[in-house]
Structure 1
Amino acid sequence: MSDDPFAASDSIRVAADPETVFAFLDDPANHAAITPGLTDVRDVEPLANGGKRLAYTYRMAGVGIDGEIVQTVHEPPERHAFELRGRLSGTIDLRLAPVDGGTELTYAATYGLPENAITKAGAPVIRRFNERQLRAALENVAARFDGSG
C-alpha cells in the first residue's frame, strides 16, 4: 500500500474467466451498479483505443460531484485504466489475471479530492473511505459472478 492517503489498492477472486469479467467491466452501466457513490453515467463515447469517455456523477457526503472519465488503457482481457477529470481527479487501474478457474481482479486507484473535503476530513479519514469504497466495488463485482444470483 502506498503512503499516499489518496491511494488505495486491493484484489479479489472472481468466479468467472478474465474475458467474462473484462466484458462486464467494459460496460459503463455496470460501474454505476457496482461502485458505491456513483449515481449516474451518461454521454458515453467510444474512443479509438477501444475504451470510452463518459460523464458521471459521484455522491460524496450527500453532495453530487460531476466529472469525466477517460479510458486510457483498454487491453482485453487483462486491463482497464481510467483517468478521472473534474473536481474529483485521479486514476483507476483494473487488472485481471487468470487464477484457478476464475479471475484475480486488482483495483488500484489514486484520487484527488476537492480541497474542502481534504481540509474537513483529514488524510486518515480519506484513506479509510477510499479503501472501503474500493473494497465494496470489488465485492460487488465478485457477487455478480458468485453463482447465488
Structure 2
Amino acid sequence: MIEVSESAVVDAPLAAVWAFMDDPHNQPEISPSITDVRDVEQDATGKSLSYTYRMAGVPIDGSMSTSTYDPEERVVFDLEGPLSGTITWTFEALDDGRTRVTYGAAYDLPSKVLESVVRRFAERYNERELRTTLENLQTQFASD
C-alpha cells in the first residue's frame, strides 16, 4: 500500500475553503493529475462520483464515494477501480482566520509486480501531487 500525506495552511476561513473543496468539480483546478470529474451525486451522507486521473501520463478511470462526511471537518473517499484505497481531507480552523488542510492518500497499485517495481516512484510522484494540489489550493485563495 502507498501512503502519503501533506498539510498546508490556506489564507482563508474554514467556511470558504470547505465550500470550495466540497464541490468535486473544483478538483481539476487544483489537482494536476485529475483531468475529469463526472457523475457527481450527493445526499446527506456525502458524495459519489467518477473521475479520470493521470499517473505518469497514463489515464486511470475510477469511482469514489464518501465513507466519512463531516462538513467543515473531515471527508474520506473510498476509491474503486484500478486504484483502490482512500483519499482523506481534514480541515482545521486556525485562530488567525486561516485554515489548515491535510490531504492524505492510501491506495494499492493495480498489481503486486507493478508495486514492487514502481513503489518508490509512485510514492515520490504522489508526494509531489499532494504538495502541488495543496499549493494550488493556497493560490486559489491568495487572489481573493
Q: CA deviation at 1:145?
A: 0.6
Which residue of structure 2 lines up, in the alignment, with residue 48 of structure 1?
Answer: 44
Q: CA deviation at 1:61?
A: 2.3
The residue correspondences of 1:25-40 to structure 2 (distance < 5 A) are 25-40=21-36
For residue 142 of structure 2, give the secondary structure of its aligned residue in structure 1.
coil
Separation (CA, whole Å) in 2 of partners of 1:31 and 1:47 = 19
The residue correspondences of 1:84-99 to structure 2 (distance < 5 A) are 84-99=79-94
Which residue of structure 2 lines up, in the alignment, with residue 107 of structure 1?
Answer: 103
Between Structure 1 and Structure 2, how many residues are aligned? 142
Separation (CA, whole Å) in 1 of partners of 2:16 and 2:75 = 14
The answer on whether the counterparts of 1:47 and 1:53 sit within 8 Å (CA) in structure 2 is no
Which residue of structure 1 lines up, in the alignment, with residue 13 of structure 2?
Answer: 17
The answer on whether the counterparts of 1:83 and 1:90 sit within 8 Å (CA) in structure 2 is yes
Which residue of structure 2 lines up, in the alignment, with residue 118 of structure 1?
Answer: 115
Which residue of structure 1 lines up, in the alignment, with residue 4 of structure 2?
Answer: 8
Structure 1: where are the runs of 5+ without partners? none
For residue 41 of structure 1, give the secondary structure of its aligned residue in structure 2.
strand
Q: CA deviation at 1:25?
A: 0.5
Which residue of structure 1 lines up, in the alignment, with residue 138 of structure 2?
Answer: 142
Structure 2: where are the runs of 5+ without partners? none
Deviations 1:16-41 (Å, cap 9, x if unpaired)? 11111111001011112111211111
For residue 77 of structure 1, give the secondary structure of its aligned residue in structure 2.
coil
The answer on whether the counterparts of 1:19 and 1:76 sit within 8 Å (CA) in structure 2 is no
* TM-score normalized by the length of structure 1: 0.88
Separation (CA, whole Å) in 2 of partners of 1:139 and 1:82 = 21
> For the structure 1 residues 61 and 117, does the alpha-carbon distance in structure 2 shift closer, same or farther, using more than 3 Å as the test?
farther
Separation (CA, whole Å) in 1 of partners of 2:62 and 2:91 = 26
1:83 to 69, 78, 85: 78
Q: CA deviation at 1:62?
A: 2.1
For residue 145 of structure 1, give the secondary structure of its aligned residue in structure 2.
helix
Amino acid across the alignment from 1:60: M
Which residue of structure 2 lines up, in the alignment, with residue 70 of structure 1?
Answer: 65
